[in-house]
């Protein structure tokens, strides 16, 4: 079968492309702003990518068009597909019908930590010889891949609550039908499609309804909004993490002790840090137990977990300055990451380079929470692009540790001047940050 993917360069759609290719399909695709690393990754797999959405692509004559959620009405190629009544599907629907429907699906949902937890769980299953397929919203360093297919019975998937397509406004995760479900946490996000937290809770409860009675749902006990979700009904076995009567941990110097129902299960030596990541690890260990993996084996696997690109990924150390790349863009994730670093280091400052880039951030729905999120950082350099619908200088005017720039090069010049030995510099953005990381590193090295 030949499939042509509209919006192929997103992590999710690029993952579908890789999975389809490995299953013997001919795969082509198109997108705006085709650039590395996704373009390189796809081209290395023999997947042809076309820049833009020219209607002439109709002449490729694929068996089906797979439509990403970046595509909307008015897109010239999509309009011709509709006019000619050609077959099309959303990515999540194609994935379920062609890959997931015969698998034991382990899905990880939540506002934060999905990518890291999905990577952890995929690695545990792989280390324990379960050979899972997976689709992750980032590149797990243990695999150097974001997605793969397999012939095993198991598939681990990052279950995103964002909408499926312009013609299917349900959350993507509704299509996955998991047997094992992790509910990591729940907060307001995606203000471009959800008017309130209650609307997101509705989508999460729809997901809960799809889990069979012989399935298991693992729930973060610390999340009040998840309590609201499950209070509306749950029909599957449930366990809690972050709870003394369920799964919990005790922190030591460079390891955590893992417990279930007050029974000690083992010590996990960790390279990652922070309460949020320890909770991610608990959830992954608990989910692995549901498919038959002993907690001691899951703990051993996680002791060899190498992290995820762009999730507190250490890029380099130059002249005593440690430089990290991180995906944090929601106020809660920003605060958690900063606090985790502060709790870990014995000396040095925490410097943040921040790009408010997500749709929620551009709309300004959470701008008033940012000052408090950054309160434990020593200095913040904020790049305010023209796409922001709010005045970053006004928001941060009472925060003496924050500098706002409308020009990325000017910001990097001032950032370089400010750095000193033992600093921890963290770039925070859910995108490429206009290549700021590489520009600064090149400048420091020269």
Taking the domains of the chain in order of start, what are their residue ranges?
2-89, 102-302, 313-445
Is it the case that residue 191 has pLDDT exceeding 90?
Answer: no
Is it the case that residue 72 has pLDDT exceeding 80?
Answer: yes
Split at pLDDT 50, 70, 90, the class of 18 is very high
Portion of the chain with pLDDT greater than 90, in percent: 71
Total Cβ atoms within 10 A of residue 212 = 11
Listed in sequence order, the residues at least 6 apart from 334 whose beta carbon sits closer than 8 Å to its beta carbon are: 328, 352, 354, 370, 373, 374, 428
- What is the distance between the alpha carbons of residues 435 and 446, in angstroms, rounded to a whole number? 17
**Greater model confidence, 365 or 68:** 68
User: What is the Rg, in whole angstroms, of the alpha carbon atoms belonging to the chain?
Assistant: 22
Among the listed residues 38, 47, 16, the one whose alpha carbon sits nearest the alpha carbon of residue 175 = 16
DSSP notation for 89-107:
EEHHHHHIIIIITTSEEEE
- What pLDDT sits at residue 189? 79
Give the residues across from 445 on adjacent strands: none
Tokens, residue 108: 């990880």
**Greater model confidence, 17 or 271:** 17
DSSP state of 140: E
- Residue 258, classed as helix, strand or coil, is strand
Listed in sequence order, the residues at least 6 apart from 294 whose beta carbon sits closer than 8 Å to its beta carbon are: none
- What pLDDT sits at residue 302? 96
- What is the distance between the alpha carbons of residues 85 and 74, in angstroms, rounded to a whole number? 16
Q: 228 near 220, Cβ under 8 Å?
A: no
Average pLDDT over residues 380-393: 90
Split at pLDDT 50, 70, 90, the class of 35 is low
Q: Looking at the domain 2-89, which fold is it?
A: Rossmann fold (3.40.50)
Average pLDDT over residues 137-159: 93
Average pLDDT over residues 129-137: 96
Average pLDDT over residues 44-49: 90
Q: Do domains 2-89 and 313-445 have the same CATH topology?
A: no
Query: Does residue 428 have a cis peptide bond before it, meaning omega lies within 30 degrees of 0?
Result: no
Poorest-pLDDT segment among 243-252, 262-271, 367-376 = 367-376
**Greater model confidence, 218 or 44:** 218
Q: 237 near 217, Cβ under 8 Å?
A: yes
Average pLDDT over residues 354-372: 83
Is it the case that residue 34 has pLDDT exceeding 80?
Answer: no
- What is the distance between the alpha carbons of residues 189 and 229, in angstroms, rounded to a whole number? 16
Q: 211 near 181, Cβ under 8 Å?
A: yes
Tokens, residue 311: 């999730």
Tokens, residue 94: 């194609």
Q: Domain 102-302 sits in which CATH superfamily?
A: Mur-like, catalytic domain (3.40.1190.10)
- What pLDDT sits at residue 36? 63
pLDDT for 414-432, tens place per residue? 999 999 999 999 999 988 8
CATH architecture of 313-445: Alpha-Beta Complex (3.90)
What does pLDDT average to over the chain?
A: 92
Tokens, residue 224: 């009040």
Is it the case that residue 37 has pLDDT exceeding 70?
Answer: no
Split at pLDDT 50, 70, 90, the class of 271 is confident
Poorest-pLDDT segment among 48-57, 326-335, 397-406 = 326-335
Split at pLDDT 50, 70, 90, the class of 166 is very high
Listed in sequence order, the residues at least 6 apart from 303 whose beta carbon sits closer than 8 Å to its beta carbon are: 268, 269, 270
pTM: 0.87
- What is the distance between the alpha carbons of residues 310 and 328, in angstroms, rounded to a whole number? 9
């Amino acid at each position: 079968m030949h499939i042509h993917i509209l919006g192929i360069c997103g992590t999710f759609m690029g993952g579908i492309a890789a999975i389809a290719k490995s299953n013997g399909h001919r795969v082509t695709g198109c997108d705006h702003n085709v650039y590395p690393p996704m373009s390189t990754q796809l081209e290395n797999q023999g997947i042809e990518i076309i820049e833009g959405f020219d209607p002439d692509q109709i002449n490729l004559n694929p068996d089906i068009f797979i439509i990403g959620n970046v595509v909307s009405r008015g897109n010239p190629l999509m309009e011709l597909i509709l006019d000619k009544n050609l077959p099309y599907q959303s990515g999540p629907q194609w994935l379920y019908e062609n890959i997931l429907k015969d698998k034991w699906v382990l899905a990880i949902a939540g506002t934060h930590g999905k990518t890291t937890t999905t990577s952890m769980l995929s690695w545990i299953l792989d280390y324990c010889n379960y050979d899972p397929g997976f689709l992750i919203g980032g590149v797990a360093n243990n695999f150097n891949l974001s997605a793969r297919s397999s012939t095993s019975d198991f598939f681990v998937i990052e279950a995103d609550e964002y909408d499926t397509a312009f013609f299917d406004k349900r959350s993507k995760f509704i299509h996955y039908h998991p047997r094992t479900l992790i509910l990591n946490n729940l907060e307001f996000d995606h203000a471009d499609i959800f008017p309130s937290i209650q609307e997101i809770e509705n989508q999460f409860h729809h997901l809960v309804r799809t889990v069979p009675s012989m399935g298991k749902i693992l729930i973060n006990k610390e999340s009040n909004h998840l309590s609201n979700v499950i209070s509306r009904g749950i029909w599957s076995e449930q366990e809690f993490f972050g709870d003394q009567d369920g799964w919990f941990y005790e922190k030591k110097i460079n390891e955590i002790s893992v417990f279930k129902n007050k029974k000690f299960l083992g010590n996990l030596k960790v390279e990652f840090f922070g309460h949020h990541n320890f909770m991610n690890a608990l959830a992954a260990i608990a989910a692995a137990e549901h498919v038959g993996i002993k907690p001691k084996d899951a703990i051993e696997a996680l002791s060899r977990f190498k992290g995820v690109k762009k999730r507190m990924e250490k890029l380099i150390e130059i002249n005593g300055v440690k430089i990290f790349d991180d995906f944090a863009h929601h106020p809660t994730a920003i605060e958690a990451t900063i606090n985790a670093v502060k709790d870990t280091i014995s000396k040095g400052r925490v410097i943040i380079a921040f790009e408010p880039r997500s749709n929620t951030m551009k709309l300004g729905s959470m701008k008033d929470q940012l000052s408090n999120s950054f309160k434990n950082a020593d200095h913040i350099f904020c790049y305010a692009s023209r796409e922001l619908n709010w005045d970053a200088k006004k928001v941060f005017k009472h925060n003496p540790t924050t500098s706002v720039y409308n020009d990325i090069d000017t910001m990097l010049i001032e950032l370089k001047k400010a750095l000193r030995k033992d600093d921890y510099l963290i770039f925070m953005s859910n995108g490429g940050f206009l290549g700021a990381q590489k520009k600064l590193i090149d400048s420091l090295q020269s």
